[in-house]
């Protein structure tokens, strides 16, 4: 571009637009499969009836966390739910490792990193508010 020429208009593209609804669902589905495959993680989900419904809820959650809109808005109460589950620091660490591996397998590095940052931020809040320690 010539010096002094007007720069092209720039637009910040929301993460939801870059990843897309279908890909969010694919990542969530793969991730819950990985959680189920590990004894330490599977135990937290034994009381859960319908996994398809849970995955749909989680996909909606991520979609809104990435800036997306839902046709039918939903409320989430992450802290209360995980407090009731008795989540531990060790389980949370493993959750994050599995989540990162899933993201890296499905997405280009930059998008995987941005989604991971969202999860790390929420995990930090969980750690502090649920007093899990490191």
Q: Find, among 101, 95, 98, the residue nearest to 123 by Cα.
A: 95
Tell me the closest approach of the beta carbon of residue 69 to ligand HEM, in angstroms: 17
Draw the binding track, 107-126, toward ligand HEM (x: CB under 6 A; -: no contact): ------------x--xx--x
If one asks whether residue 106 binds ligand HEM (CB under 6 A), the answer comes out as no
Helical H segments across 15-108, by residue range: 15-19, 21-36, 39-42, 51-65, 78-85, 89-106
If one asks whether residue 61 binds ligand HEM (CB under 6 A), the answer comes out as yes
Q: Find, among 81, 86, 78, 67, the residue nearest to 124 by Cα.
A: 78
Tell me the closest approach of the beta carbon of residue 8 to ligand HEM, in angstroms: 35
| Nearer residue to ligand HEM within complex by CB, 66 or 91 | 91
Instruction: Compute CA 84 distance to the chain's CA centroid, rounded to the nearest angstrom.
Output: 20
| Footprint on residues 4-33 left by ligand HEM (CB under 6 A) | none
């Amino acid at each position: 571009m010539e010096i002094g020429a007007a720069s092209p208009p720039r637009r910040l593209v929301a993460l939801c637009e870059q990843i897309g609804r279908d890909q969010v669902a694919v990542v969530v589905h793969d991730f819950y499969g990985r959680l189920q495959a590990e004894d330490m993680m599977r135990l937290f989900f034994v009381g859960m009836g319908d996994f398809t419904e849970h995955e749909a809820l989680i996909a909606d959650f991520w979609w809104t966390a990435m800036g997306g809109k839902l046709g039918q808005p939903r409320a989430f109460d992450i802290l209360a739910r995980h407090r009731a589950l008795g989540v531990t620091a060790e389980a949370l660490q493993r959750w994050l490792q599995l989540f990162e591996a899933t993201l890296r397998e499905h997405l280009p590095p930059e998008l995987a990193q941005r989604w991971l940052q969202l999860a790390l931020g929420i995990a930090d809040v969980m750690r502090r508010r649920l007093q899990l320690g490191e």
